[in-house]
């Protein structure tokens, strides 16, 4: 899965116009308005099953936004995104169960640990190019389940994982998993903060412009003095920290974390979210999350054939929408304005 280069976006003038000024205000208001609409819709329906689906959408939106930062905007073929998710989940689980720390402390600590792990993985990958980065990061993904199973004595629980994670307690109130409405509100806040930090803070800063320049014109960016290695490591750290935060939140929501989160199903679903939504096309990746989560739930009745049917739907959608959902919506909006 490779990031697509858009030559019409490569000039500094076009990049600046897209990421500053009126576009920033308009996009921010549209994003926050969409979040409020989701909140109102969820509270209006008020069913636990719907809350559960919306919680999953919120958590995976944060994960995919972090992945989009690396693949879509930085052009780095990172396939270790679920490693950051697992690191955050296991870090928070082990700190809360083994060390007895409260969840409100372990979740931010998990984000810090995830960011450190992301930077450590980025250091060797910063010396690699293209498919070699993909191979290295995917090798890390494949190796982590074996490491978790062999470190049972350190608190990972081996193949069983870590069970009985405590719920989040905040402002004197404990949020149990049965209280789906409260978890939905928290998950939405987490998703909004993570997405805003990536798309409206990091990517719309000088750092974000440097990432776009590195992706679209690496030689030119180097000539301008952009330190590609340092920016790539920093991008990995940001992506890993946010994904680790989402992983820790997910672990406390489910109250259990096992090596299954590094399984093929999770990895393929995450890739499908990016493939359908579109990389580097905000809010394409987030739309991909919504489509895949809802599609996966509708296909539950297919049981073991669910992934096959989902794969066929992906193939048909790629053929019908070669520009992905993000590009399709932008083209439609452009035609309406014209």
Q: Where are the domains of the chain?
A: 7-261, 263-338
Q: What is the CA 162 to chain-centroid distance, rounded?
A: 23
| Tens-digit pLDDT profile for residues 129-165 | 878 999 999 999 999 999 998 888 888 998 889 999 9
Collapsed DSSP state (helix, strand, coil) of residue 169: strand
* Averaged pLDDT for residues 317-333: 64
The most confident of the ranges 237-246, 255-264, 299-308 is 237-246
The whole-angstrom separation of Cα 160 and Cα 167 is 20
**98-113 pLDDT per residue, tens:** 888 999 999 999 999 9
Say what the pLDDT of residue 196 is.
95
CA dist 245 and 56 (Å) reads: 14
Out of 26-30, 188-192, 228-232, least confident range: 26-30
DSSP 229-296: HHHHHHHHHHHHHHHHHHHHHHHHHHTEE-GGGGSHHHHHHHHHHHHHH-TTSTTHHHHHHHHHHHHH
Mean pLDDT across the chain, nearest whole number? Answer: 85
What is the model's pLDDT at position 39? 95
Q: How sure is the predictor about 236, in pLDDT bands with cuts at 50, 70 and 90?
A: very high
**pLDDT tens digits for range 248-292:** 999 999 999 999 999 888 898 888 888 888 888 888 889 889 988
DSSP, collapsed to helix, strand or coil, labels residue 174 as strand
Could you tell me the pTM of the whole model? Answer: 0.87
Q: What is the pLDDT of residues 88-99, one digit of tens each?
A: 999 999 999 988
pLDDT digits (tens, 9 = 90+) for 54-69: 999 999 999 999 999 9
pLDDT band at 13 (very low <50, low <70, confident <90, very high): very low
CB contact at 8 A, 334 and 316: no
pLDDT of residue 22: 57
* pLDDT tens, residue by residue, 173-206: 888 888 999 999 999 999 999 999 999 999 989 9
Query: What pLDDT score does 8 carry?
Result: 42
Rounded CA-CA distance 18/280 in Å is: 13
Report, as an integer, the average pLDDT of 218-229. Answer: 82
């Amino acid at each position: 899965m490779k990031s697509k280069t858009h030559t019409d976006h490569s000039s500094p003038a076009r990049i600046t116009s897209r990421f500053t000024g009126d576009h920033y205000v308009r996009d921010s208001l549209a994003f926050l308005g969409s979040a409020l609409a989701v909140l109102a819709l969820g509270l209006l329906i008020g069913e636990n099953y719907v809350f559960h689906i919306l919680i999953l959408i919120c958590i995976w939106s944060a994960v995919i936004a972090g992945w989009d930062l690396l693949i879509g905007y930085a052009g780095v073929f990172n396939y270790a995104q679920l490693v950051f998710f697992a690191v955050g989940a296991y870090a928070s689980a082990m700190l809360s169960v083994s060390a007895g720390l409260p969840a409100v402390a372990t979740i931010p600590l998990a984000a810090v640990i995830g960011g450190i792990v992301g930077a450590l993985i980025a250091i060797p990958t910063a010396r690699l190019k293209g498919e070699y980065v993909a191979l290295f990061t995917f090798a890390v993904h494949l190796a982590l389940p074996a490491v978790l199973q062999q470190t049972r004595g350190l608190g990972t629980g081996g193949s069983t994982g870590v069970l009985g994670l405590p719920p989040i307690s905040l402002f004197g109130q404990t949020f149990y998993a049965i209280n789906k409405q409260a978890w939905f509100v928290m998950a939405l806040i987490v998703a909004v903060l993570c997405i805003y930090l990536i798309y409206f803070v990091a990517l719309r800063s000088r750092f974000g412009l440097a990432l776009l320049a590195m992706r679209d014109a690496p030689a030119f960016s180097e000539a301008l003095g952009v330190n590609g290695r340092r920016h790539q490591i920093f991008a990995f750290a940001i992506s890993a920290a946010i994904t680790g935060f989402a992983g820790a939140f997910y672990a406390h929501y489910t109250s259990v974390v096992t090596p299954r989160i590094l399984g093929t199903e999770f990895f393929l679903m995450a890739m499908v979210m990016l493939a359908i939504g579109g990389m580097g096309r905000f809010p394409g990746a987030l739309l991909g999350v919504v489509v895949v989560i809802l599609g996966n739930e509708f296909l539950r009745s297919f049981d073991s054939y669910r992934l096959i049917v989902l794969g066929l739907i992906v193939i048909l959608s790629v053929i019908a929408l070669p520009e992905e959902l993000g590009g399709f919506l932008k083209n439609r909006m452009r035609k309406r304005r014209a």
